[in-house]
Structure 1
């Protein structure tokens, strides 16, 4: 192998590793932001309705008994998080599509992950929480009051919609990267591994480690339901011939400011919520 070829291979490997690192950082940062939004909306609604509880590292525990709940209260409290994530996710998606994807930098990838996490906290959570019969599962359960069959139907529908959303999200994914090298179709496998699979697996593991040993079963399942988004996105991206990027793309480099932001968010999450925040 000639010297230029070795240099090119080394440069491509460095870009792949940097892309993977930045993607993991963005995955974790946007996960904490959207999860924080989801739980803050839930706590806020509960406080408004005078429903006491404790906000923990990986869950919210209400301290009223089952007979004290009422239908409107259940729908309001458990629907607040999905509603907030829907709004923010849609705004992020529109911002990405109409403005950010045409500009250089990592903002477009940040917005893409915000939209993906928002989708998973609405649709994916419905799938995961149906297995545990808690969390988002209470919404159709108390809405229909017709046994568990309607709840399962809703969960299956949400799962299918999430798969479709992930499939079409590949269009946005391929427009969220600046690297001319990684955007070449011949390097598509490296891009998919570095920017989809590694963030999902490593990012989820990092969040799980942050919340261990208080990691809830619901959150574990939410990590898995993210696969309903990223796997279809990866499959379609692998078959898309699109390999262009914006004019004058940003050089691939470690986003230290995002690394710092993710680190601060993680430490703050652990320090604030470890004792439990009563409301």
Structure 2
């Protein structure tokens, strides 16, 4: 089996290496852009909800800092529940909307589908990943809600295990949408699927995780780095399921696509990185004196 897979990779490299390289660059860019779209959306919405309870926050490039510490009279059952659940609820609504948009997006708009796919995946990962890390490492997020609900520690562990299993199940269900994110189904023919999965899932995750780690330096965020781990767990089932995904295609959908060099997307990404490093490094306060 391994020998056959190696032969397929060699054959694909000889025929399509140029397109796959460009597609990988696009996917890394979309992965990073989607990450920051979700990061900013989640934290800005949470900060706005916190402001309703007079809770001051400062948005940094790795976290949303809550100025009132634990034990402050500003924190009660209502404020803790609504503040720490608001971001996840917002992302859940966003996922539902984008799934409908994704289904209506045609194959020829593969780059759009790829961008939507990564936004959806980052949203799912942030909801479930922060739930796991908040519970396991006794941090903010889900742990605060559990404290106010007086949920027993054993029940929390059971919930984490359930979320862990759900993460794999969702990853398995994303196999077909992932393959459909190709600009042309020519890329996901049987003989090319393994290389497509390797190029567009695991290589993209690996390079993007390194880039994000460097962008965050010298700060180290346990939550954001843990999300890279849970993202890997989310895409891992694609490797075990890619051969079983049934994709029907027409002649127009399997034509060889032409890609332009992604200079404008690279520029947008660099602008966003500069914004993160310069503006968010100092922090954006969500309160006024």
Which consecutive residues of structure 1, in runs of 5 or more, have no partner in the other structure? 1-5
Aligned mate of 1:22, from 23, 26, 29 = 26
Q: Post-superposition shift, 1:16?
A: 1.5
Aligned mate of 1:48, from 48, 52, 57 = 52
Aligned mate of 1:254, from 253, 261, 268 = 261
Aligned mate of 2:275, from 249, 268, 278 = 268
Q: Post-superposition shift, 1:244?
A: 4.0
Q: CA RMSD in A?
A: 2.3
Q: Post-superposition shift, 1:170?
A: 0.6
Aligned mate of 1:151, from 153, 156, 170 = 156
TM-score by length of 1: 0.89
Equivalent residue, structure 2, for 1:3: none
* 8 Å CA contact retained: 1:192, 1:238: no
| Change in 2 beyond 3 A, CA 1:8/1:205 | closer
* 8 Å CA contact retained: 1:210, 1:270: yes
Moved more, 189-198 or 138-147: 138-147
Aligned mate of 1:123, from 120, 123, 128 = 128
* 8 Å CA contact retained: 1:140, 1:151: no
Does 1:83 pair with 2:94?
Answer: no
Q: How many residues align?
A: 273
Question: Counterparts of 1:89-108 in structure 2 under 5 Å?
Answer: 89-97=95-103, 99-108=104-113
Aligned mate of 1:218, from 210, 223, 234 = 223
* CA displacement, residues 194-224 of structure 1 (integer Å, 9 cap, x when unaligned): 1100111111211111111223101111110
| Change in 2 beyond 3 A, CA 1:245/1:27 | farther
Q: Post-superposition shift, 1:8?
A: 8.5
Rounded to whole Å, the distance in 2 between the matches of 1:9 and 1:62 is 50
Q: Post-superposition shift, 1:140?
A: 4.4
* CA displacement, residues 113-151 of structure 1 (integer Å, 9 cap, x when unaligned): 111111001112212332221132235413531332222
Q: Post-superposition shift, 1:192?
A: 0.7
Which consecutive residues of structure 2, in runs of 5 or more, have no partner in the other structure? 1-9
Rounded to whole Å, the distance in 1 between the matches of 2:30 and 2:143 is 31
* 8 Å CA contact retained: 2:34, 2:118: yes
Q: Post-superposition shift, 1:101?
A: 4.2
Rounded to whole Å, the distance in 2 between the matches of 1:246 and 1:205 is 38
Aligned mate of 1:206, from 204, 211, 221 = 211
Rounded to whole Å, the distance in 2 between the matches of 1:130 and 1:149 is 11
Rounded to whole Å, the distance in 2 between the matches of 1:18 and 1:134 is 40
| Change in 2 beyond 3 A, CA 1:8/1:82 | closer
